[in-house]
Copies of this chain bind each other. A is one copy, B any other.
Amino acid sequence: MTHSTLIDQLSAFMNERIPFQKYLGIKVTKFDGQESEVRFQWKDELVGNAPMQILHGGATATALDTAGGVVIMASVIERMEKNLSAEEIVERMARCGTIDLRVDYVRPGRGNEFITTATIIRSGSRVAVARMEMHNEDGMLIAFGTGTYIVG
């Protein structure tokens, strides 16, 4: 199995199999071992301030954590030995997890689509760190943050 096939599979896996991501409508739109991008559309269920029509900060935090997790997992896959079985890969993915997350809310979450990108900053054998940013479709910065992840 090639690495790019693996990454396609990871994308499908995440888009379909992580229930909370699907519940919010967050889709992984691209990634490799250095950067990732996830997107979601405005929907009324994601609102935190109905009178002001502003996204809930928890939806933003979820998108940032998702984008960070995606780039971390892709980075782990890139560094894996080539001949791992699918079971071993899934088992390795399941050992990845968020240790801590900081989100800085810059502007009210307004827009039709929200694009979150993550860049890997530190990629170790035990711990990895990613930096994330969320913009709306007009390129307005809504939030940014940092996530620290344990890697298997």
Contact = CB atoms under 8 A, between A and B. Distances in A.
Contact of A126 (B45, B146, B150): B150
A141 to B, nearest CB: 8
A56 B21 contact: yes
Nearest to A26: B58
B99 A121 contact: no
Interface of A: 17-21, 23-24, 44-52, 55-59, 61-63, 65-66, 90, 94, 97-106, 108, 121-122, 124, 126-127, 129, 131, 141, 144, 146, 148, 150
Closest 8 CB pairs of A and B: A58-B62, A20-B56, A61-B61, A126-B126, A23-B45, A19-B47, A57-B98, A100-B104
